[in-house]
Amino acid sequence: MLMSSVDAAEIENFSKDADRWWDENGPFKPLHELNPVRLSYIKRQICTHYDKDEKDLKSLKGLSILDVGCGGGLVCEPLARMGAKVTGADADPMAISTAKAHADGAGLKIEYLNKPAEEIKKKFDVVLALEIIEHVQDPEEFVRSISNLCKPGGLVIFSTLNRNPKSFLLGIVAAEYILRWVPRGTHSWQKFVKPSELARMARPAALSPKNITGLIYNPVRSEFVLSNTDLDVNYLMALKKAD
């Protein structure tokens, strides 16, 4: 069985903190801080793709969305509140347990699967792979697996880290050793993926890039913001699945 999305060492690294996914000041604090702007991007791309009214509080109603590598459900829950039929999948059983408990406590209907992407058989209108491709064993095969989960004409959204000297300084040295935003060893710079590499992997998988946007940290305002020009560290890419 092909398991390109599972790296045992990566799962073990995240699993040790799985009960703290919803602790806004815990090891996943950076994800909590970037979640609002990340969700804004996701919602806008989905609404544009499916001609939905972005101002509608239930703008995602009628759409099926899969979040691969969902962790504790930080993205799944807001999408469910927007009306989407949401499925979250993660290879870490502890993360799925945390996600299920939190969703139940919030009264949200979300299907959570303790499976890697390769084991999921359904297809979805939208497939998300956020901050995960830099943790898998075989990125190229993983992109194919993500594409296989998307319906023809559907939408796929990746978010990840670029690979260059600046991303090493900010994504590794600053984030892990100076600012201590995330535990040391969270990322391996060699596994970061350049936008050109992701686009190259996507095309043979029947995915066409529609939009690429940078995600940067504004130290003056202490918040993450989107950028149309700065893709040096974090970026998001929306892609259309071939009809």
Q: What is the CATH number of the domain that holds 77?
A: 3.40.50.150
Provide the angle, in degrees to the nearest 10, between the axes of the packed helices 195-202 and 139-148: 50
| Residue 177: predicted pLDDT | 45
* Average pLDDT over every residue of 200-204: 97
User: Among 21, 28, 11, 127, which Cα is nearest to 68's?
Assistant: 127
What is the per-residue pLDDT across 157-174, written as a single tens digit (0 to 9) for each? 999 999 987 776 666 655
Closest CA relative to residue 157, chosen from 211, 230, 238, 212: 238
| 184-191: average pLDDT | 68
Range of the domain at 158: 8-241
Identify the pLDDT of residue 172.
Answer: 62
Contacts of 218 (CB under 8 A, 6+ apart): 224, 225
> What residues pair up with 215 in beta bridges, in sequence order?
226, 234
pLDDT range class, residue 1, cuts 50, 70, 90:
very low
Question: Domain for residue 99, yes or no?
Answer: yes
How confident is the model at residue 28, as a pLDDT? Answer: 87
Asked whether residue 138 is domain-assigned, the answer is: yes
Q: Is residue 126 part of a domain?
A: yes
39-96 pLDDT tens trace: 999 999 999 999 999 999 999 999 999 999 999 999 999 999 999 999 999 999 999 9
Q: Which DSSP state fits 82?
A: T
Whether the CB-CB separation of 98 and 112 falls below 8 Å is answered with no
Q: Domain count of the chain?
A: 1
Question: DSSP 3-state assignment of 124?
Answer: strand
Residues 78, 84: Cα–Cα separation, whole Å: 9
The contacts of residue 217 (CB under 8 Å, 6+ apart) are 223, 224, 225
Mean pLDDT for 179-189 is 61
Pick from 43-57, 135-149, 217-231: least confident: 217-231
Distance in Å from the first CA to the final CA of the chain: 28
Q: What predicted TM-score, i.e. pTM, was given to this entire model? A: 0.89
Within a domain: residue 3? Answer: no
pLDDT tens column, 11-30: 666 688 889 999 998 888 88
Measured between alpha carbons, how far is 152 from 194 in angstroms, rounded to an integer?
26
Of 76-85, 110-119, 178-187, 188-197, least confident by mean pLDDT is 178-187
Domain-located, residue 2: no
Residue 139 lies inside a defined structural domain of this protein = yes
Q: What are phi and psi of 148, to 5 degrees?
A: -65, -25
Average pLDDT across the chain, whole number? 89
Residue 178 has pLDDT above 50, yes or no: no
pLDDT of 179 reads 47
The answer as to whether 217 is a domain residue is yes
CA distance linking residue 208 with residue 199, whole number of Å: 8
Q: Is residue 147 part of a domain?
A: yes
CA gap 73, 232 in Å, rounded: 27
Q: Is 3 exposed, middle or buried (0-12, 13-18, 19+ CB in 10 A)?
A: middle
pLDDT tens readout for residues 97-137 = 999 999 999 999 999 999 999 999 999 999 999 999 998 98
Decide: helix, strand or coil at residue 113.
Answer: strand
SS3 state at 197: helix
Residue whose token pair is 């962790």: 71
